[in-house]
Structure 1
């Protein structure tokens, strides 16, 4: 796997950030402090469900 990583637009300079890469039917997530390890892989459906939950939790806060 040699994904093309994209940094989150919500990341400030110097902060630990979420990086996302996509492949056919797969989404990969990793944290910027170590982008070659600890990669989470999800289907687009599962990733969409995660985003919905996170948005709901953010709205409650």
Structure 2
């Protein structure tokens, strides 16, 4: 059985879990992430196993 280390993306507005998940080796720039709790869409960069929101 293969165990994968999957992390969740948290909403930068309300700090709730979103439906988006990523692996440790994932890289994404300007990824739109929707939060079902506060109904906002935020842009996120994912690098080195960390998701950081883009502040504009």
Q: TM-score range by the shorter chain?
A: 0.3 to 0.5
* More helix by percentage: 1
Larger RCO of the pair (alpha carbons < 8 Å, separation 6+): 2
TM-score under structure 1 normalisation?
Answer: 0.32
Larger-Rg structure: 1
TM-score under structure 2 normalisation?
Answer: 0.33
